[in-house]
Amino acid sequence: MKKGANQPLFFWAKSGDLHMILSEFLASAYHVSPHALVLGHPVEHSRSPLIHNTAARDRKIDITYYAVDCIPEERYLIPKLFESESFFGANITIPLKKEISGYLDEIDGPAKAIGAVNTVVPVRNPNTGDVSVRQKPDKLIGYNTDVYGFAKPLEKYQTFKKAIILGSGGAARAVQYVLENKHVSTIYVVSRTKTGKKSNNILKKNLGENFGDASSRERNPDFPAENTEVVTISYDELGQALKESDILVNTTPVGMHPNIEESPVPDNLMPLFSDKICYDIIYNPLQTRLLKKAKKHGAITIGGLDMFIYQAARAFELWFQTPMPVDKVREILMTKS
Ligand code: NAP
């Protein structure tokens, strides 16, 4: 365990030093007092401890949130982590978002459709979120709160005719799921590696599943969401797609710290952004080069910080049955980024 491990919560939350490997965590006193955590590999630079410890203190919830590094040879310890009487929630990050479902009892609809769980909710009966109740969870449910986080800043926009998603990884699927739910007619997924492959409409593929309350799925009789056409294209075709579309979402890591001078869209295409929405889910830096340039050319721009905050807010609410203090969390993230 790291130096300073016996310091009280206020020290941890200030230093952000809440990081240890899974076996260390299970052997420590932290494991037997109320806790939540982010589990993945690596997790050292995760901002989630800062978010959730700030929120818990503000809401006077007596819990500490840790970053627990699950190295591949310690995966067998995951069930021990989840069956603890003191376990009140987990965020799941790379590389466990898919395989974590094997440790859970239920997967919520959107998480199942997307194929990625980023939040684990231990359910006790009654499910009050009260951290003074010590009892082994009755069941574990997996959610994908990126869906909610991505959708939140788009709430004020009804729908889009055509949309572009740059990248085809995990976050891209959550974005696609939301755009399908907004009844977009065509989604262009721009990929370096998957061109020529058939793309699937996520909703159509999962028709008949129970999508749960987090899906925000609304039936539009004129244009059912499962009618969205999803087409994978190459970067050579981006210019034409941009002319036709009203929103572009960057889900690639291009432009992320420390490579802040990079952009996934070449400069010669930037004038096409006039009056369109440019949404970059990167939150470090807050304004990527792509967003800065798009704004200069008349785009409405949305950065990734709100998505990051609202995916956390949804998890917090699922765990503790109370809203996260979103403004307080935004303030602390802005001062410490
Ligand atoms: P991922 O699974 O690795 O997917 C990223 C995709 O981007 C890849 O599948 C790849 O698609 C493309 N890509 C990767 N490197 C590239 C490069 N050098 N040039 C062009 N394209 C490249 O990662 P992810 O989990 O989806 O996350 C992607 C980004 O979203 C990260 O920057 C992450 O920090 C951010 N994110 C933000 C939030 C938030 O709350 N704001 C949440 C989740 C993720 P192709 O191979 O098809 O080109």
> What would the pLDDT profile of 36-73 be if each residue is shown by its tens digit?
999 999 998 899 999 999 999 999 999 999 999 999 99
pLDDT given for residue 14 in this prediction: 38
CA distance 119 to 112: 12
pLDDT interval class at 35 (50, 70, 90): very high
Check if the beta carbon of residue 283 is closer than 8 Å to that of residue 308.
yes
CA distance 252 to 201: 20
pLDDT interval class at 13 (50, 70, 90): very low
Tokens of 72: 């591949």
Between 222 and 83, the more confident residue is 83
Ligand 1 pocket: which of 251, 254, 310 to mutate (most atoms <8 Å of CB)? 251
* DSSP annotation string for 215-267: G-----TTS-GGG-EEEEE-GGGHHHHHHH-SEEEE-S-TT-TT-TT--SS-G
Lining residues, ligand 1, CB within 6 Å: 146, 149, 167-172, 191-194, 251-254, 256, 264, 281-283, 304, 307-308, 311
**Site of tokens 């755009």:** 179
Report phi then psi at 150, rounded to 5.
Answer: -70, -40
292 is catalytic: no
> From atom 44 of ligand 1, which residue's Cα is the shortest distance away?
171
Check if the beta carbon of residue 233 is closer than 8 Å to that of residue 263.
no
Q: In ligand 1, which atom is closest to the CA atom of 194?
A: 47
**Site of tokens 């710290």:** 257
Which of 3, 14, 80, 97 does the annotation list as catalytic? Answer: 97
Tokens of 164: 């572009």
Check if the beta carbon of residue 277 is closer than 8 Å to that of residue 253.
no
Q: At what angle do helices 305-320 and 48-58 cross, to 10 degrees?
A: 50
Beta-bridge mates of residue 143: 119
Close Cβ partners of 40 (under 8 Å, ≥ 6 residues apart) = 46, 69, 70, 92, 93, 94, 95, 96
- Calculate mean pLDDT across residues 87-109: 96
pLDDT interval class at 130 (50, 70, 90): confident
Q: In ligand 1, which atom is closest to the CA atom of 173?
A: 26
CA dihedral 27, 30, 35, 40 (to 10 degrees): -50
Tally of helices (H runs) and strands (E runs) in the chain: 12, 13
pLDDT interval class at 253 (50, 70, 90): very high
Burial of 158 (0-12, 13-18, 19+ CB in 10 A): exposed
What is the pTM (predicted TM-score) of this model? 0.90
Q: In ligand 1, which atom is closest to the CA atom of 311?
A: 40
Provide the phi-psi class of 16: left if phi over 0, else alpha when psi is between -120 and 50, else beta. left
**SS3 category, 169:** coil
